[in-house]
Amino acid sequence: MRRPRILIQLDCDPQTSVFDSVVAADSGVEHLFRHRDVTPDQVERLVHGAMFTRGPQDLHSTAIFVGGSKVAVAEQLLDAVMKTFFGPLRVSVMLDPNGANTTAAAAVIAAGRHADLRAAEALVLGATGPVGQRAARLLAGEGAHVRLASRSKERAAQACGRIRERHPKARLTPVDLEEAVASLPTCGVLISAGAAGVEMLHEDSMERSSLQVAIDLNALPPVGLASVDVMDRGTERHSGIHCYGAIGVGGDKMKIHKAAIASLFESNSLVLDAEEIYEFGKKLLH
Ligand SMILES: NC(=O)c1ccc[n+]([C@@H]2O[C@H](COP(=O)([O-])OP(=O)(O)OC[C@H]3O[C@@H](n4cnc5c(N)ncnc54)[C@H](OP(=O)(O)O)[C@@H]3O)[C@@H](O)[C@H]2O)c1
């Protein structure tokens, strides 16, 4: 007998994300168990409920989604989930706090359509936020030299340190916003992941750049890159810069998010963090 597909949502926020629940429903999940305010010490008990209820042959029909707006806490939840599994008693898990992994994956895939990321000089604005950090991590994983920009160079340096924990050989440079603008004439890839409703670059800054691709993830006016329209999807501006706006990237983000959730039910051993979601998205969208 086929078991119904159950997704257990572990959310670190006081309210479980409605966005993530709707995407789960649209991805073929039949039963959604929504847990909110989850802390790492509560995870073992919750995960035991997933591991010990169905036989090993049916565990692929149960999966876990870890989300919420606090990325560092969500990462601790994932660690606690992984520590609870043993032997074949495990279920597939996806980590996507604040949509950071799926959004960053969609942005870097868009960048890779127009630039050779292995040799790219890249700049990430808002690189200390959940989405910016993941985008910088994925670019660095491809071999790009990535400048991580923040209003505080110290925070940018801390973000570089976190990425180096995963990619020790990553080529990363922390920059402040002035240095970020000054680097534009030598950058080929720009991802703007600043906070919603904050303009990160004026129109004339991009005119003086050597960019091949510019991606803005902020949909709320004013947008992050003044030259880019939210609907842009590879639109050429400023004599040859391929531009993507937040809605242009958002369509791919949604495709990746839904397909990744559906894939959790194909086996009981998937662990989808930024890199796995990025690789998954590349296969899906190319
Ligand atoms: N298109 C999509 O599908 C999608 C999905 C999810 C998110 N998003 C968007 O992606 C963007 C990034 O998301 P997030 O959650 O990572 O953002 P966030 O944490 O709210 O902000 C990212 C960074 O922006 C910088 N920042 C904040 N206020 C600023 C200001 N007034 N001036 C300059 N910099 C400022 C901060 O860095 P410092 O303090 O270090 O300077 C912060 O770490 C947002 O615009 C969000 O709406 C899009």
Pocket of ligand 1 (CB under 6 A): 98-99, 103, 126, 128-132, 150-152, 155, 193-196, 198, 217-219, 246, 249-250, 253
The answer to whether the beta carbons of residues 242 and 221 sit under 8 Å apart is no
Sign of CA dihedral 156, 161, 166, 171: positive
Residue 277: inside a domain = no
Structure tokens at 258: 């839904």
Q: With CA atoms as reference, report the closest residue to 236 among 204, 207, 212.
A: 212
Same domain assignment for residues 73 and 136: no
Tell me if residue 149 falls in helix, strand or coil: strand
Structure tokens at 42: 């509560």
d(CA 107, CA 233): 11
Same domain assignment for residues 73 and 109: no
- Mean pLDDT by 10-residue block, N- to C-terminus, for the chain (286 residues)? 95 98 98 98 98 95 97 97 97 97 98 97 97 98 98 98 95 98 96 98 88 97 96 94 98 98 98 98 93
Residue 51: inside a domain = yes
Residue 149: inside a domain = yes
Q: State the residue range of the domain holding 36.
A: 6-95
Atom of ligand 1 nearest to the CA of 218: 45
Same domain assignment for residues 127 and 220: yes
Same domain assignment for residues 161 and 138: yes
- Which segments within the chain are labelled E, that is strand? 6-11, 31-35, 62-67, 92-95, 121-125, 145-149, 171-175, 189-192, 213-216, 233-237, 241-244, 271-272
Residue 255: inside a domain = no
Residue 124: inside a domain = yes
Same domain assignment for residues 87 and 105: no
**pTM for the whole structure:** 0.97
Same domain assignment for residues 139 and 21: no
d(CA 118, CA 100): 22
Q: With CA atoms as reference, report the closest residue to 225 among 248, 193, 178.
A: 193
CATH of the domain at 17: 3.40.50.10280
Going by CA atoms, what residue is nearest to atom 29 of ligand 1?
Answer: 195
Distance 222 CA to ligand 1 centre (A): 13
Domain tally for the chain? 2
Residue 84: inside a domain = yes
Residue 261: inside a domain = no
CATH of the domain at 227: 3.40.50.720
The answer to whether the beta carbons of residues 65 and 7 sit under 8 Å apart is yes
Same domain assignment for residues 35 and 104: no
pLDDT of the residue at 203: 87
Same domain assignment for residues 91 and 108: no
